[in-house]
Amino acid sequence: MIDKKIGFIGAGNMAYSLIGGLTATGVAGQNLWVSDPDEHKTSALAEQFNVNISQSNTQLVQTVDAIILAVKPQQLAQLCSEITTQVMIHKPLIISIAAGVLSKDIELWLNAGANEANQIALVRCMPNTPALVQSGATALYANDQAGDADKTLAESILRAVGLTLWLDNEASMNAVTALSGSGPAYFFLVIEALEKAGIKLGLDEQTAQLLAVQTAFGAAKMALESDDSAATLRNKVTSPGGTTEAAISILQQGHLEDLFDQAVQAAHDRSVELATILGQHTDKN
């Protein structure tokens, strides 16, 4: 059970999902704080989860043990400059879920690391959108100042919305972004394609959609719960000379695996590029 005070700066979808996941696992709303310029969002969170509303970001920093930075990446530099004094005084654990923003840039904007007294514990996370339904996959990377207790706290928070795993080097976050961060969209595209194919074969739209979605869910559940690899599971349902083999043959002739390889590589390369752009852009501000 998490017994620390946790604050969220930003009240968007990811903050909502994390607060929902935490309260569902037994964390009292009284131990959660949130600040956001949008009073409708904070009021809705307070009403639904009984969380505390902070009147300012600096007030929140003074109150909590851990801060989740849940603002848009383009807003993070300005936010860090706003709270840096209070962060250096109170030294909460900083958890960033801003996509594409490197730890070194967050440390720079918080004026951390200039000397030993200014060092902060920082964990960078890459959750994905299924966190909204407590089925997310989140990779975490901690800086050198984050101790075991900091890592345990960060992992416990993110585990409230799904699977968590740690990365040994931050560069791997680009691969995570390409695979699981962008990954839900790949599967939505496959579901969409299956729906269209079913409709073309004569199924009504509702039937095709339900069958495609449930089939995707069932396949994912089997892959999660089975000791077999995805390749083995595929082979088990692909009988020689059967309908599945006929379909798989067409997909392989179309070089589906090569397309996915190229797609994930493109997402990876764009992740690297965006991290550079975000750092350069905000350094000028």
Rounded to a whole number of angstroms, the CA Rg of the chain reads 22
Q: Indicate if 71 and 172 belong to the same structural domain.
A: yes
Asked whether residue 271 is domain-assigned, the answer is no
pLDDT in tens, 113-122: 667 778 899 9
Q: Indicate if 175 and 78 belong to the same structural domain.
A: yes
Q: Flag whether pLDDT at 153 surpasses 50.
A: yes
Query: Phi and psi dihedrals of 73, rounded to 5?
Result: -50, -35
Range of the domain at 154: 6-180
Q: Indicate if 191 and 244 belong to the same structural domain.
A: yes
pLDDT in tens, 239-264: 999 999 999 999 999 999 999 999 99
Residue in the structure block whose two tokens are 């690297």 = 272
Q: Indicate if 65 and 164 belong to the same structural domain.
A: yes
Q: Indicate if 25 and 127 belong to the same structural domain.
A: yes
Asked whether residue 83 is domain-assigned, the answer is yes
CATH of the domain at 186: 1.10.3730.10
pLDDT in tens, 35-52: 999 999 999 999 999 999
Q: What contacts 210, CB < 8 A, 6 or more positions away?
A: none
Q: Indicate if 175 and 187 belong to the same structural domain.
A: no
- Residues 37 and 182: their CA atoms lie apart, in Å, by 28
Domain final position from 127, 155, 180: 180
Q: Indicate if 108 and 238 belong to the same structural domain.
A: no
**Total domains in the fold of the chain:** 2
Q: Indicate if 79 and 214 belong to the same structural domain.
A: no
